[in-house]
Structure 1
Amino acid sequence: MKIYTFKLDSAIVEAAIELSCQAFAYINILVIEADFESILKEAGNKLVVVDFTATWCGPCKQIAPEFIKLSEVPENKEVVFLKVDVDEAEDVSSQCKISCMPTFQFYKNGAKVFEFSGANLATLKSKLEELR
């Protein structure tokens, strides 16, 4: 499993999205000081699933391995998976109006299409299947 941790600029976003399409069936990016809008824009019509998490959050720790497993499923190779630490990327979590963790947001064409909070694996799986 590869986890990319970096300050994002548009070139890195493009490379990360390209990697998710070519060499890997998944991508898991820890967004630190990201230009969140550029990530969504670069993803185009691909589904983007964002896991807003915190290192101190028990339910976040519970669902984290499942989120990683879902990113590795071949059917999800066209899905962009992002993991945002709310304490590291306060600007992103504030912009996305995150009030509890874990919160999962789903985006297509730059627009949020679904959101739920809590470590509910069934909802995560069903929405991924429905929206991808």
Structure 2
Amino acid sequence: MEVIEITDQELDAQLAAHPKAIIKYYADWCGACKLFNPKFKRLANDERFSDVVFLNVNAENNPEARGKAGVSNLPSFAIVEGGQFKETIFTSKEEIVVELLGKLN
């Protein structure tokens, strides 16, 4: 599945359309965020996570989406299930993101 770039205006519709989601919060100036992009794309195409939608949110331009996840550092990742934010973490380690994805039922 592709990684979908979304804005504040699109967040609720995407979460309503997909029961399971992971959101990566980034900023254009964030080097660690840029380095994680290929890893996030690879995870989005991983068969283990075929039922999860992968969303990208520019944290600087989308304060509403950032606030819903309580993001204070970048890159951050939030998992959402049934429209409810379950957990948000700050990391640049792929194995930590894989563990987070494993918490989606």
TM class by smaller structure = 0.7 to 0.9
Q: What's the counterpart of residue 109 of structure 1?
A: 82
Deviation (angstroms), 1:33? 4.2
| AA at the equivalent of 2:17 | E
Q: What's the counterpart of residue 5 of structure 1?
A: none
| AA at the equivalent of 1:35 | E
Distance 1:94 1:38 in 2: 17
Deviation (angstroms), 1:122? 1.1
Q: What's the counterpart of residue 22 of structure 2?
A: 49
27-36 or 115-124: bigger deviation: 27-36
Is 2:53 the partner of 1:80? yes
Q: What's the counterpart of residue 101 of structure 2?
A: 128
| TM-score after normalising by structure 1 | 0.70
Distance 1:111 1:91 in 2: 15
Percent sequence identity over matched residues? 21
TM-superposition CA deviations, 1:8-52 (whole Å, max 9, x none)? xxxxxxxxxxxxxxxxxx1211113423222212213xx200000
Higher relative contact order (CA 8 A, sep 6+): 2
Structure with bigger gyration radius: 1
The aligned length equals 105
Deviation (angstroms), 1:130? 4.0
TM-superposition CA deviations, 1:100-128 (whole Å, max 9, x none)? 11110001111112221021211111222
Q: CA RMSD in A?
A: 1.7
Distance 2:60 2:103 in 1: 30
Q: What's the counterpart of residue 2 of structure 2?
A: 27
| TM-score after normalising by structure 2 | 0.86
- Cα 1:100–1:73 change in 2 (3 A) is same
| AA at the equivalent of 2:57 | V
Assess if the C-alpha contact under 8 Å between 1:59 and 1:118 holds in 2.
Answer: no
